[in-house]
A and B are shown apart, each in its own frame.
Chain A
């Protein structure tokens, strides 16, 4: 319920995390505060918070934020919980390198589909139940690790656990019901970044839990199975907390949604068409596959890599691997911020260059990681690689909102799915065969990142240009209005369905760069971007 007009895909607004704060539902540029409402934070007329107060747990807004990112993080913990324990699991289950690689592919594949379904679930049941259902129904999949006896079982269970990564969608959806669109970018970006940290936390948590259980007397092959109970309990605890402490809307629970008699104004088929026929969508799907995708792949292989290559103890390898995922805490928001700074000087061209530079740098550091022969160089290379890849994720979603206004939700969803798909593909090619050692796999993955980032040069906006080409000088086709209005046909324009896109176009003029921003803007058209 991010957008009261209820268009399909509108529930995905805010998913990108870097959306400009264009109030597509509010007519006036300034968001009025509802002074009659009694909340801890100032709220707007829909009672969505206008302020993001990080260290508060006030009901409902900040409490929702914390419940949401922690449950998303829990799902990352359980999806990647097997990775740091692979050195033990592979001996228990007699796994080959192919089995381990296939399990890694399986762990990221399930959520490609579950994320697509989750949007519909949130529309039907609301984000609170969407989150709670997913988290509590995937708890049995985590517990079923104790039954696994061979490679097939291991792959199957990792596949099933991977479904819970769809909490990304419920997390972002829930935020958009609680936070005003002026700040939803920062809120969602922080929630996504902190959620991804779970992939790092698990590399630290699981070896420590395993070690404790071993010291209590269990054999190695029982201890790792018991260790999986910890993420399983986290699922149950978070599910119960979400159900008891959370609420769907600032004013209460679902019953308020009953008043929504509005039928979806836009057609799913049309939105899908505009998403799919925009070539930029597919370039971003590829790009995100090589920023988020390589992050997920690395989460799966890095602990085992350090354990084997540098003869480290399991928890030492875990600590090093954890620092890869934990960099998300600031790296992802930093990428979005870098993109914003580039945009103030060079507009959209700056954003494209920033993305290319950051993602290519990440790829080069990945090559260095594969070629590093000593522990210290490997750690340095890994950290730089993590900063590059995660900042690239942030920078990607700083541009995605501008690709389309009408089909933003679907494009965001496709881009996100591209991340998982890229991860599965990379693990399949480089980390599942005996053809490459893991260090060779990392080197080639780095090369592939650099190669797959080149298509960014092809992204051209007629109104703003591309990396190498200036904007079109055509007085009609070179305007933001033309670009965004071209997603509507004549009949739709006659019904004025494209008004939201026109307002968005007006506010997006700042992407023209400094010369546009410094040009005097008419007083009644104050753009309300941050």
Chain B
């Protein structure tokens, strides 16, 4: 019976935690100030149908606080992220865009983070080499401005609101290596050959014993 009490108690605690959690208002993407930052991302290779190679090609990213930004006094840091374009989110619910910021999974790849200096009014630019764990897909760049509590207050992105312009494609590394392939074949062959050797050997021994 003790286990029943424990289970019931844990259930009560869970419900309590759930209700407390639900009491805090969720921060929404739609509340953020749009276009507070002007962001551009230029791939190292451009052209019709060009696909950038992860681990090799670069993006040249610039960001600048827009003159129309109203929440600028709250800015503490700028976080630049690589985000999935809608084409790469189809049939992939783990990349879904959600309005609640903590649930949103459309911008999982961190590019860099910069401390915000209000005195610096000029555009900041830097080069970013695409990491080797970036998956194949279509992307754009977004920069979030966060306040001192690490909550997003504003953002800017390199594409338009519908996420249809200025997108670039990336091809992931395959992860395959020749050495891996060779090792794989060697172990497979070993397995089959070892089995056959044992089998033939035992059959031979059985035959010898039978003929005795």
Q: Which residues of A contact B (CB under 8 A)?
A: 87, 90-92, 94, 96-98, 129, 132-133, 136-137, 139-140, 143-144, 146-147, 149, 219-222, 224-226, 229, 232-233, 235-236, 239-240, 243-244, 253-255, 308, 373-374, 376-377, 380, 434, 437-438
Contact = CB atoms under 8 A, between A and B. Distances in A.
Most interface-central of A92, A139, A143, A243 (chain B CB within 10 A) = A143
B94 A308 contact: yes
5 contacts: A91-B133, A139-B191, A221-B174, A222-B176, A380-B10
Contact of B192 (A140, A146, A226, A377): A140
Interface string B1-34: 0000001001101110110010000000000000
B190 A236 contact: yes
B14 A374 contact: yes
Contacts of B172: 91-92, 94, 221
Interface in B179-212: 180-181, 183-185, 187-192, 194-195, 198-199, 202, 206, 209-210
A90 B94 contact: yes
Given A91-B133, A94-B135, A133 B94 contact: no
B73 interface: no
Given A90-B94, A146-B183, A219-B133, 11 more contacts: A97-B92, A136-B195, A139-B187, A140-B188, A140-B192, A144-B184, A220-B175, A239-B191, A243-B195, A377-B11, A380-B14
A97 B93 contact: yes
A527 B122 CA distance: 93
B101 interface: no
For the side of the interface on B, what is the size category? 35 or more
A226 B180 contact: yes
Those 6 A-B pairs whose CB atoms lie nearest each other, nearest first: A221-B175, A140-B188, A91-B135, A96-B91, A139-B191, A143-B184
B188 A139 contact: yes
Contacts of B195: 132-133, 136-137, 239, 243
A380 B184 contact: no
Contact of B18 (A219, A221, A374, A380): A374
A373 B100 CA distance: 15
A337 to B, nearest CB: 17
A376 B14 contact: yes
Interface in B147-183: 172-177, 180-181, 183
B9 to A, nearest CB: 11
A327 B205 CA distance: 44
A221 B93 contact: no
B120 to A, nearest CB: 34
Given A94-B135, A129-B199, A255-B206, A235 B191 contact: yes
B45 interface: no
B86 interface: no
Interface string B35-73: 000000000000000000000000000000000000000
B11 A146 contact: no
B110 interface: no
Contacts of B185: 143
Contacts of A96: 90-92
A129 B18 CA distance: 54
A84 to B, nearest CB: 15
Given A96-B91, A140-B188, A226-B180, A240 B194 contact: yes
A222 B91 CA distance: 25
B176 A239 contact: no
Contact of B187 (A129, A236, A373): A236
Nearest to B199: A129
Most interface-central of A146, A377, A434 (chain B CB within 10 A) = A146
A528 to B, nearest CB: 35
Given A219-B132, A239-B194, A240-B194, A143 B177 contact: no
B87 to A, nearest CB: 12
A65 to B, nearest CB: 22
B194 A136 contact: yes
A146 B173 contact: no
A124 to B, nearest CB: 13
A221 B173 contact: yes
A374 B11 CA distance: 11
B191 A236 contact: yes
Contacts of A232: 187
Interface string B85-112: 0000011111000000000010000000
B93 A144 contact: no
Contact of B17 (A91, A143, A220, A376): A376
A136 B192 contact: yes
A90 B210 CA distance: 56
A443 to B, nearest CB: 15
Nearest to B105: A308
B92 to A, nearest CB: 6
Contact of B181 (A90, A147, A380): A147
Most interface-central of B172, B176, B184 (chain A CB within 10 A) = B184
B206 A254 contact: yes
A219 B187 contact: no
Most interface-central of B15, B180, B191, B199 (chain A CB within 10 A) = B191
B136 interface: yes
Contact of A87 (B18, B94, B194, B209): B94
A253 B176 contact: no
B14 A236 contact: no
Contacts of A254: 206
Nearest to A240: B194
A222 B18 contact: no
Contacts of B90: 96
A146 B190 contact: no
B91 A97 contact: yes
A226 B91 CA distance: 28
Contacts of A233: 187
